[in-house]
Chain A
Amino acid sequence: MYDFIVWLQNLPLSVWLREAFWPFPTVLTVHVLSMGLLSGVGVATGLRVNGVGGGTAISRWTQFAPVTWIAVVIVVISGIGLFLTYPAKAATNPLFYFKLAGMAAALVLTVWLNRRMRADVDIEGLRLAGAALIVLWVLVIFAGRFLAYTYNFINLLWYPR
């Protein structure tokens, strides 16, 4: 695993992302735009099943699902770009795995919610899931932001070589 990280870090793409001026901030910008869309639509969905913006059948809201999935694709691709720029920095930080787990949970919940919404079930049964989705996205955002501040606290000792 350690050797793999070193190998990643020395890939020409990784070196380029790190050392040229424009690539890294550009990938970060793409990541934050898609993250804003993904988590923002998630927060709106969570609010919708809690009664905000009523008056329209919830099954119609699932028409916005493609927006979520396009945002997921862009978030993942740009996220891989960010990981490739500084692989050791992310891979040695437990918070990085917390973020990935939170995002996976949020996406599973989104699929489940979309399926229930498409069936036009009563929103009473979806309130908790909607609230959980909002909490998950907030946690993922905090974890992502804190990645930029916690890497230098990691002493590498816990990391399997």
Chain B
Amino acid sequence: MNAMERITEFAKSIGVYHLTSETAWGWPILESIHYVGLSMLFGTVILYDLRVLGVAKSVPVKSLHRFIPIGVAGFIINLVTGVMFYISAPANYSYSPAFHVKVICLFIAGANVMIFYTFLAKRTNAVGAGEDAPLSSKIAAGVSFLAWSGVLAGGRFLGFFKPPQHWCEWCGLFS
């Protein structure tokens, strides 16, 4: 049994495979939930990024930061539903360049979040009504905007890139 089959076996053993692939509407319902999660994440995070970049300056950055928990909730919803998709059909994702782009963008977005909360969050959230955010915060906001857009784009292209396994030079390393 190769790695892909072992992952699918695991999905079957915990009942996820049944839900996603052996019910009439399981996959579409989970996908819709994934899209609602995307909306929660993208809407709140991009709103924050836009404010930091200089849109709607009369709103203090701190008020927008109160929406970030909604974005985090959206991210958790999408992590759970996304892992359910992946373990149900791992080969469709593992060998797909669109999925690789998506995961790389996720790591960039994640690293950006860590850098932001380590060095920039305190200063950025102190930016009040009518004030301009520092350049470093603006760069982080721009990276966030682009990286999350890349995550969405990679996801959207997933259904259109289903290359055969032999296209993926490095995938044999895991089997």
Contact = CB atoms under 8 A, between A and B. Distances in A.
Contact of B28 (A29, A33, A67, A146): A146
Contacts of B157: 25, 29
B34 to A, nearest CB: 8
Contacts of B40: 40, 43
Interface residues of B, number: 38
Given A36-B39, A67-B50, A60 B28 contact: no
Interface string A131-161: 0000001100110111011000000000000
A40 B43 contact: yes
B42 to A, nearest CB: 4
Contacts of A56: 59-60, 63, 129
A47 B58 contact: no
Contact of A44 (B55, B67, B152): B67
Interface string A17-31: 000010011001100
Contacts of B66: 52-55
Contacts of B160: 21, 24-25
5 shortest A-B CB distances, which residue pairs?
A: A40-B43, A63-B56, A36-B42, A53-B66, A56-B63
Interface of B: 25, 27-28, 31-32, 35-36, 38-44, 46-47, 50, 55-60, 62-64, 66-67, 70, 129, 149, 152-153, 155-157, 159-160
